[in-house]
Structure 1
């Protein structure tokens, strides 16, 4: 048998082929439940993650966080020890299981995984159950901004200690601003944003790296509906089509929050270079 090559095993489909319309996510669920070692897998987050990886190698590519970025965020969890962690964009639950397990080991109380696609959310719930993490992980179905607002209004979400952003790229900034406005992000809160190099997220990086003076000036400008022309051209066209159909938070956030932000270079499971932006809220200027 030839040596395992992650670049080939996790190579994405040809450009123009959708990741989400061929049933691979549901197929993954059948793969795990019918696995010959299913009884060993039950109750073991590590074995569930291994089964997901096995499917990705043997069957079809899955857009999972991967080992490199996973280690960055799990180390961050061990350092921050969040009581409450929020994930925006759950997909099939790989990051949810990996990080939810890390939060539980760090003494945390709740891991929220926000996923707008109800089919993907159902896959996450099933895999979380198999992994034995249902006591810690709660999957929230719906658009991220509406879900954040709903959990805040119900009193279930009062503060975010650590947030992992890995969903619709223009919503990174708009959802962060909503969390700021609601007082969910305060001194001590930490953000980890994926894919800030590939495909890139210039508006988000500009926001978390800006001074309060720059953010206050920017807050006086009209808010666009979740779209910014500074995204790479190919992605900007995709986002522009979606923004015509959907509405996103227009919160101006809290420009007085002070962030310290830095890029941690990392790699996609395909071997392509990327980065995770780690941002810490260090206070508020009055």
Structure 2
């Protein structure tokens, strides 16, 4: 188990830890920095300002520096977009898609990406993850996923993966990285990516076609977006049970220093 640098720890997570105005407060904090002109055009310095806010002002549910060595697809306030969008550009890539259901958070992402000079790389897609994935597939924008980081609504990890399988976006060579599989945990997703094709085929035959969150999730996880009146219904895709994954848990930390882990799964074939 790696050790966490306590000097980098964010403020502790409160009972209400997002969607309470802190995201816009972060924008004012970053844009109000005395060295704004030095920050402008530098993804690294924008990330440092976000981390400073998380350590000295209020907790932010970011991927954080410790997990930032792994590529992520995510949204919230754009930490992952800056971190990995910058990496995509340095590697010669052209586009980084961030799927975010909350339009206010999406606006924060776009604003910080613009400040970091990454607006030509980062593309924010607003809407539910399943609808956005299907739309990107149907309009020909997304034909294959090389790497996908899942860090959104926890009960949707497995169902969104199965949707991507069904749309043929996932195939041998695709890599998945799923955050928060220890805290708060994601038993249904881990069960799926670690299962054999035969096990998954049996589950598919038993499926009832209902897109409801797994009963093993804590109620606070299921109801995470209830204050906005958003539905907890999930897509009921059957996936491609014949796909084989080589899956491994990588232990890491939350930005607060609390233990967590990322499940790294590589699609290695199909039976």
TM-score w.r.t. length of structure 1? 0.87
The secondary structure found in structure 2 opposite 1:52 is helix
Structure 1 residue 34: Cα displacement:
1.7
Partner Cα separation in structure 2 for residue 236 and residue 65 of structure 1:
18
**Greater CA deviation, 127-136 or 180-189?**
127-136
Given that 2:78 and 2:113 are in contact with CA atoms closer than 8 Å, whether structure 1 keeps it comes out as yes
Per the TM alignment, residue 156 of structure 1 is displaced from its structure 2 partner at its CA by 0.7
Q: CA deviation at 1:246?
A: 4.0
Question: 53, 71, 76: which one pairs with 1:91?
Answer: 76
Question: Quick one: distance in 2 between partners of 1:178 and 1:201?
Answer: 17
4+ long deviations beyond 4 Å: 3-7, 234-237, 239-244
Alignment partner, residue 45 of structure 2: 47
Whole-angstrom CA distance in 2 between matches of 1:93 and 1:264? 23
Evaluate the alpha carbon distance shift between residue 236 and residue 130 of structure 1 in structure 2; reply closer, same or farther with a 3 A threshold. closer
State the Cα distance separating 1:19 from its structure 2 match.
2.2
**What's the secondary structure of 1:262's corresponding residue?**
strand
Cα root mean square deviation, aligned: 2.2
Asked whether 1:250 is paired with 2:236, we answer yes
The structure-2 alpha-carbon separation of the partners of 1:244 and 1:106, relative to structure 1 and needing over 3 Å to count, comes to closer
Report the CA distance shift for 1:125/1:241 in structure 2 as closer, same or farther (over 3 A). closer
Return closer, same or farther for 1:236/1:20 CA change in 2, 3 Å cut-off: closer
Contact 1:229–1:236 (8 Å) recurs in 2? no
Which of 207, 213, 220 is residue 227 of structure 1 equivalent to? 213
1:1-286 aligned at under 5 Å gives the runs 5-7=7-9, 9-13=10-14, 15=15, 17-21=16-20, 23-71=21-69, 73-74=70-71, 87=73, 89-221=74-206, 222-231=208-217, 233-235=218-220, 238=223, 245-285=231-271
Find the aligned partners of 1:46 and 1:215 in 2 and give their Cα distance. 42
Deviations 1:29-66 (A, max 9, x none): 11111211111111110001011111112221111111
Describe the shift of the 1:237–1:116 C-alpha distance in structure 2 as closer, same or farther (beyond 3 A).
closer
- Report how many residues are paired: 265
Q: 2:213, 2:234 within 8 Å by CA — same for their partners in 1?
A: no
Question: What's the CA shift for 1:10?
Answer: 2.0
Q: Does the 8 A contact of 2:213 with 2:232 survive in 1?
A: no
The 8 Å contact of residues 227 and 239 in structure 1, kept in 2 or not, is answered as: no
SS in 2 for 1:264: strand
Q: CA deviation at 1:269?
A: 1.0
Q: Quote the Cα distance in structure 1 between the aligned partners of 2:62 and 2:184.
A: 15
Would the alpha carbon gap of residues 197 and 104 (structure 1) be closer, same or farther in structure 2, given more than 3 Å must change? Answer: same
Shift of 1:95: 1.1
Cα distance in 2 for partners of 1:207, 1:95 equals 25
Superposition TM-score, scaled by structure 2 size: 0.91
